[in-house]
Structure formats: structure tokens, C-alpha cells
Amino acid sequence: MREAIRFGRNGTVREVRDVHPRTTLLDWLRLGERRTGTKEGCAEGDCGACTVALGRLVDGRVVYEPVNSCILLLGQCDGADVVAVEDIAADGALHPVQEAMVTHHGSQCGFCTPGIVMSLFTLYEEGERPVGRDAVNDALAGNLCRCTGYRPIVDAALDACATAKDRRFEAHREAAACALGEIAADGADLFMRDEGRFFAAPASEESLAALLARHPDATILAGATDVGLWITKSLMEIEKIVWLGRVASLRETRSTPETLTLGAMVSHADAHAALAAIDPDLGELMRRFGSIQVRASGTVGGNIANGSPIGDLPPALIALGAKLHLAGAKGTRTLPLEDFFLGYRQQDREPGEYVRAVEIDKLRRHDAFRCFKVTKRLDEDISAVMGAFRLHLEGRRIARARIAFGGMAATPKRAPLAEAALVGLDLDDELAWAPALDALAQDYRPMSDHRASAEYRAVVARNLLFKALAEIAGDAGLRIAPRPAGLAAE
């Protein structure tokens, strides 16, 4: 058992043992270390002023991602290398992205600047060359600048990334790899403080199940892109935290010709490519999920377990026919994902149970899939309505249909009446689609809230089903999934 959080700082291993379990990385940096370069703007993951880079060992190399330090708990840095804005200039010389920000006048009041520099730093150090405008825009989608405007910032990014990569940071990366290797070698469970108030990070599922059985009231922590806001915005007094980040089996991804299984702790960034390979619409959904910082921290399991009616993955995965794997001290069980959601923020999860993995049924021959996210802003916005559709076709006839929506009910929910109305329809007979479109009004009674009115949601849902049918009818030959290798013909 280890009683201190251990992480990398400038090539050394830092140990912290007596902080409150809910201390954020930002507070530790600013208040504890007096490293005040990193700023607090919104304290809810939206503005990016607090961005730092977090590096983790991947096949012996430290790979850095940008994270929002305002909602990331210090304990989540265990086993990672923390790089703040003060750490990237080397030997008195600015990092190339800092140089470019100066040259292109990318800063006025400067409040956003440290966060923008850190987002560009990870793009520079990790982005695939050549770095184009789309990649820069994606890298900056989680960073708000209110006064400079983005043109000079984007120019600075393009300019800095246009030349061959400066190798100065590699010395830091190598020193960090040694430090993180030393931390990884201990393989111990982390338990900081005492039974009444702790930050714990079990190193195996066995220890995790035992700890949750002993403390069923503890808060399970994954990426903290929700839980972090309970602390910074709702000021919740969370005393017992069990972080899943040290359990390697929860980070596993397994792919067969028929299924993709994502461990609960697979981050949205890491799930992106595997989901995009099932269908490009899933790739675009993930690209628009939060910001690059949110995707680096947030997890597939957290997006399901939080039970939000407007979470993006659940409707898509329900339409695909995913199964959820749960585990706890009493053993494991599996259920269709839609059955997990019982009511508003009520899930079929016993105290002490945790989400282990989600198993996604890939598209087969003659399957077509579409999903659409409707938001007020294109990037970094939560859905007002999210619709997902999977059709199985026999020739031009719809043989099976699965439809799921987010934002239309108290939970992510299927549309049984619309699904039934679609079965047997001819894709080319547009007039015959009307009963299925009408059935959505019986399947859902949406709410009005600050994102959208009930009427708007109802119209949008109807239009999204129409769009899915029209797209599939229009290019059925192009986007019907090819048969995966090794799968028997139906």
C-alpha cells in the first residue's frame, strides 16, 4: 500500500501525501507551489485558461495531452508527468510556440495566453506533421480568447508547426520517462489519508471491488470532467474518492470482426479511432465531443455511468446494440445498455458496483448507421438533441431498425414505435416514411430547458430521422457497411 500521490515534475518524482482528496491540480499548482502562470477562468472546463500538459507512459515513451487543471484532481496525476506553462522554456529561450505567439501578436490582456500556449505546446510536440488549419482549430476549440481574436493565434500555431520540430523538449521527455518508470514499477494500491477521508487508487480490479465493498458510499472517479464540477461549482464536500485510473484492465480496448469492447477508463481521445472505424459519423461525434482537453480526461465509462440524458455516447451505442459489463464484490453481470438507464439520473447500478466495459456490436453486411449531434455551437457544446440510427436492409427494404435519442426524455431512450413503423418499408418510397416520423411524437415527450424548447426538440428529432433515411436511401450503395473480414455471409 502506498500513502502518497507520486508524479513527475521536471524530471524528478514528486510525492504529495497530506492534501485534501478533492484538491485540484490547479489549486495545488497556484496555492501550493506558487506556480501562478496557470490561470483560473471558469473553473468548469470550458475556457481552457488552466490548461496544462499531462504526460503518460505509452510503450516506454511519455506522450503528452492537454488537460483542464481546474477540474482535474491532483490524485489523477499519479503516474503522470505534469508540465505547466513555466516549464516549457528551456535554457532561457522561449518554446517555439511562445516565440510565435510573440511574433504574431497573439496576446493582448494575456489571461488566456498560458492556456493557449499549453494547448499549442501539446499540438507542437505531439501533433502529426504537417499541422493544418483544421488541426489547429481543433486544438484551440477548448480555449477561449476574448480580446486578441483567433487569427493571430492560429497564424502563430501554423507558423510554429511549419518548421522541423525543435528537439529541446526531448531531454525533458526522457527524464520524465525515467521518473514515470520508477512510479509504475511499484504496482501498489494508493490510499492517501484515512478511512473517513481518502483519495484511493487501487491497482487491480480485485482491490477495487474490495475497496468499494468496504466503502460503497465513496465517489467513483474516472476523468473528473463531471465530478470536478461537483467540487468547483456545486461545492460538494466529497470526502472519499476512489479513482479508477491505475486499473490497467479498465483501459483495455479489444476488437474482433463482430465487436469492439472499450474498457470503462478508455478516454474519449483513445476511443476516437476505434469508433470512427465503425462508422465515420461516430468519428465526427467524437471530434465534436467537448474539447481536446475534455476528450483527453473524460472516459467512455464516465459518459455512461453519469446517466446524463444529454450524454453523447449512450444514444449512439444503444442504436448500435451495445452491452454493458458491470462488476463488483458479488461478481460480474451484463445487460443491454438501454436497460442501464432507469430514470432521470437513476441507473441500474448497485452500491459498490462499477462499470467495467461496454461491448459494441459492429456494423454487419447490409447495415447502415447515422448519428447527428445538434448543438447551439459547433465545437465544445453539449447536445440539445442527439439522434442515432441503425438500419438493416434486405435489398431496398428495411428489415430491422434501432433508433435512440438523447435530449428527448429523462434518459437516453429508444424509439420503439418509430422502429416498428420502419420495419418492412421500402427505402425508395419517401411518402411511406410518414408513420415512422409521426410515431416519434408518441415515443418521446421532450422537455423545455435552456438548451431548447420541447417543440424545437420534437421537430429536430423528426428531421433527424428523415435526414438519416434520406441519406441512407440516397447513397445506400456507398455507406452500407462492408462485410468485416472473417464474418460469415448472412
Ligand X SMILES: Cc1cc2nc3c(=O)[nH]c(=O)nc-3n(C[C@H](O)[C@H](O)[C@H](O)COP(=O)(O)OP(=O)(O)OC[C@H]3O[C@@H](n4cnc5c(N)ncnc54)[C@H](O)[C@@H]3O)c2cc1C
Q: Could you tell me which residues come within 8 angstroms of residue 277 by beta carbon, excluding any fewer than 6 positions away?
A: none
Residues forming beta bridges with residue 357, ordered by sequence position: 263, 325
Site string for ligand X, 374-403 (x = CB under 6 A): ------x-x---------------------
> Quick one: which of 8, 48, 298, 309 contacts ligand FES (CB under 6 A)?
48
List phi, psi (to 5°) of 21. Answer: -55, -30
Task: Closer to ligand FES by CB, 40 or 284: give it.
Answer: 40
Amino acid at 40: E
Closer by beta carbon to ligand X, 342 or else 434: 342
- Look at residues 175, 171, 177, 168 and name the one whose alpha carbon lies nearest to residue 62: 177
Neighbours of 9 (CB within 10 A): 17
State the binding partner of 24 from ligand FES, ligand X, none, CB within 5 to 8 A by kind: none
Residue type at position 301:
G
Secondary structure letter of residue 223 according to DSSP: S
Nearer to ligand FES, 37 or 41 (CB): 41
Q: Is 47 in the site for ligand FES (CB under 6 A)?
A: yes
The contact pattern for ligand X, residues 275-294, with x = CB under 6 A and - = no contact, is --------------xx---x
Residue 73 φ then ψ, to 5°? -80, 150
Give bridge partners of residue 358 from the DSSP assignment: 262, 324
Where in 316-375 is the site for ligand X (CB under 6 A)?
354-355
Residue 474 DSSP code: H
47 touches, from ligand FES, ligand X, none (C-beta below 5 to 8 Å by class): ligand FES
x/- map, 107-146, ligand FES, by CB under 6 A: xxxxxxx-------------------------------xx
Q: Is 138 in the site for ligand X (CB under 6 A)?
A: no
Task: Choose the stretch contacting ligand FES; rule: CB under 6 A; options: 47-55, 188-196, 425-433, 478-486.
Answer: 47-55
Residue 148 binds: one of ligand FES, ligand X, none (C-beta under 5 to 8 A by kind): ligand FES
User: What is the distance between the alpha carbons of residues 55 and 82, in angstroms, rounded to a whole number?
Assistant: 7
209 by DSSP, 3-state: which?
Answer: helix
Find which of ligand FES, ligand X, none residue 112 binds, CB within 5 to 8 Å per kind: ligand FES
Closest by Cα among 221, 224, 204, 220 to 212: 220
Strands annotated E in 176-258:
190-194, 197-201, 219-221, 240-243, 253-255
**65, 53 contact by CB (below 8 A):** yes
45 lines the binding site for ligand X (CB under 6 A): yes
Report yes or no: 244 and 221 within 8 Å, Cβ to Cβ.
Answer: yes
Closer residue to ligand FES in complex, CB, 98/347: 98
Q: Which of 50, 80, 154, 425 binds ligand FES (CB under 6 A)?
A: 50
Return the one option of ligand FES, ligand X, none that residue 109 interacts with (CB less than 5 to 8 A, by type).
ligand FES
Lookup: cell for 145: 480568447
Instruction: Find the binder of ligand X among 244, 269, 319, 385 (CB under 6 A).
Output: 244
Supply 134's cell numbers. Answer: 483544421
Interface with ligand FES by CB under 6 A: which residues?
A: 40-43, 45-50, 68, 70, 107-113, 145-148
Interface with ligand X by CB under 6 A: which residues?
A: 44-46, 219-227, 244, 264, 289-290, 294, 297-299, 301-303, 305-306, 308, 311-312, 354-355, 380, 382
